[in-house]
Amino acid sequence: MRVKKTIVLGVLMTAVLLISGCTQSAPRDLSDLEETAVVQTLTAMAPTLPPLTETPTLTATSTPTPTPTMVTSIGPGNFPADVNPLTGLQVENPSLLERRPVIVKVANYPAVGRPHAGLSYADIVWEYYIGEGSNRFAALYYGQDASKIGPVRSGRLVDPELARMYQAVLAFSGANEENVLPRIYDLLGNRILTEGNCPGLCRDDYTVVGVFANSADVTTTLAARGVTQSKPDLTGMLFDTKLPSGGRKAEKATLFYNYLDKGDWVYDATSGKYLRWIENANNYEQMIPLVDRLNNEQLAFSNIIMAYATYTEYSSVLHDIAVWDNTSGMKAVVFRDGQAYDVTWKTTDQEKPIQFFDAQGNLFPLKPGNTWINLIGSSTSLEVSNAEWLFTFRMP
């Protein structure tokens, strides 16, 4: 009897070591989700060993039970109720997943509005060109909230398409009344919150970068106005802790708009994330860490994606980006775990998240965690040298 117990205890200890060996350390204090959620998610899905009283006695004719295989992937549709389908991670507060995501427009210019607030709390951030040499961000909050997001600026033509794909509400500060605002109303109806609605969008000062959002307040305010807040179907993304094969070394990815507007993502092997650097507004030849003013920590993302997209220019400050029209697929480069992968991105459903596919047409697995998606012009050039990837933005 003692021999049997010893064998069972040995199996249990081995299983514990296998599970604990999958943990990943995170570089930021706020990211308890990143530190523990992958292991919690995978552990909850792992096979359960039989209790002591059920341990079988092997005989000469019995077949040994195979060693349980650790589950590494999750998605595109098998997300447990407490797992965020946009990150593949367990959330601290599963009730947040019973609402619509919140997308907030965040300005990168003028630079006096930096450092930005709340970007490190987003599940997904889109970055795209808005004209006159500048870019803007659209940050999505679902698995967690941020008490201050911004500075909030105006909406663009692509925003309501992104919001529809993620069944989100959209918070922004104004929009072109002739072309952009009618499209936002047409596609989103009452699922919008604009400046002048506090709580939700509140003004700190009367400068152009003085408006900030609170994602929880945006949800509460719009719910009070009749916006339905049930759990949306956001299935479609695939996540895997295991590194895919076929990658190329990628220690740095740079997106260059011009000498006054550029961003670096530098891989940090300790955290397993890419860290964001940005041009110093007082010395454009110098790159400095891009931090979140809420926690004074450098932005760190698990997946960086350069997704080529078709831009249509109506004026120097009015562009459309073909997101919904990308049903056949356009090329993209995914950066994760210090590796770069050539993939294809598609909009397979106007009410479902963007999907990424490998060369064989299979879903490409992102790393569990947050994702930064750069919508770059279809004519953007690429140079690769010594694991450094340089994308120079160009429209058709």
pLDDT in tens, 206-250: 999 999 999 999 999 999 999 999 999 999 999 999 999 999 999
Specify whether the CB–CB gap between 371 and 301 falls below 8 A: yes
Per the model's pLDDT, the better-predicted residue between 342 and 22 turns out to be: 342
Q: pLDDT (tens digit, 9 = 90+) per residue, 48-72?
A: 333 333 333 333 333 444 444 566 9
> Encoding tokens for residue 118?
């709340």
Q: pLDDT (tens digit, 9 = 90+) per residue, 161-185?
A: 999 999 999 999 999 999 999 999 9
- The angle subtended at Cα 293 by Cα 264 and Cα 132, nearest 5°, is 50
- What was the pLDDT predicted at 24? 37
Percent of the chain with pLDDT over 70: 82
Residues 26, 110: Cα–Cα separation, whole Å: 31
Q: pLDDT (tens digit, 9 = 90+) per residue, 104-153?
A: 999 999 999 999 999 999 999 999 999 999 999 999 999 999 999 999 99
- What was the pLDDT predicted at 70? 65
Question: CATH assignment of 76-396?
Answer: 3.50.90.10
- Beta strands at 201-203 and 300-301: parallel, antiparallel or unpaired: unpaired
- Find the length of the chain: 396
Specify whether the CB–CB gap between 326 and 309 falls below 8 A: yes
**How does the average pLDDT of the chain come out, rounded?**
87
Res. 78 pLDDT band, cuts 50 70 90: confident
Burial class (CB in 10 A: 0-12, 13-18, 19+), 2: exposed
pLDDT at 97 over 90: yes
Residues 299, 280: Cα–Cα separation, whole Å: 16
Q: Domain residue spans in the chain?
A: 2-75, 76-396
Burial class (CB in 10 A: 0-12, 13-18, 19+), 383: exposed
pLDDT at 45 over 60: no
> Encoding tokens for residue 132?
């006159």
Res. 396 pLDDT band, cuts 50 70 90: confident
> Encoding tokens for residue 223?
């719910």
Mean pLDDT, residues 302-313: 98
Per the model's pLDDT, the better-predicted residue between 57 and 394 turns out to be: 394
Candidates 395, 231, 233; CA nearest to 315 is 395
